[in-house]
Amino acid sequence: QQQVKQSPQSLIVQKGGISIINCAYENTAFDYFPWYQQFPGKGPALLIAIRPDVSEKKEGRFTISFNKSAKQFSLHIMDSQPGDSATYFCAASMDYGQNFVFGPGTRLSVLP
């Protein structure tokens, strides 16, 4: 019940295309859903986050869509660039950072 499932495991997109990564959770007590980006040799860094009281949040080329009833959320990267090539992790937590769990990751490659 503490798991966060993520798909696809890997994704290849052409430059300028849209990258979509999906996550699902079971525990309805989760109330914070961030996406982290990780480059090789570095720790993950926060990209964008959403709370369940909104269905969508957009920051630049990055958008989170949240479906509370389906217990699913997704990351959309518009106009994908080669510099976006990284591993993306969805995560979830509750009660101000308790039970902070990460999905297994999606390795994104954006071809020039």
Q: Whole-number minimum distance, CB 70 to other proteins, in Å?
A: 21
Cβ-count burial of 20 within 10 angstroms (0-12 exposed, 13-18 middle, 19+ buried)?
Answer: middle
With CB under 8 A as the contact rule, the residue among 15, 56, 58, 100 that binds other proteins is 100
Is residue 101 part of the contact set for other proteins (CB under 8 A)? Answer: yes
Angle at 43 between CA 5 and CA 100, to 5 degrees: 40
**Contact region with other proteins (CB under 8 A), list: 14-22, 53-61, 64-72, 103-111:** 103-111
Contacting residues toward other proteins, per CB under 8 A: 6, 32, 34, 36, 41-46, 49, 89, 93, 96-105
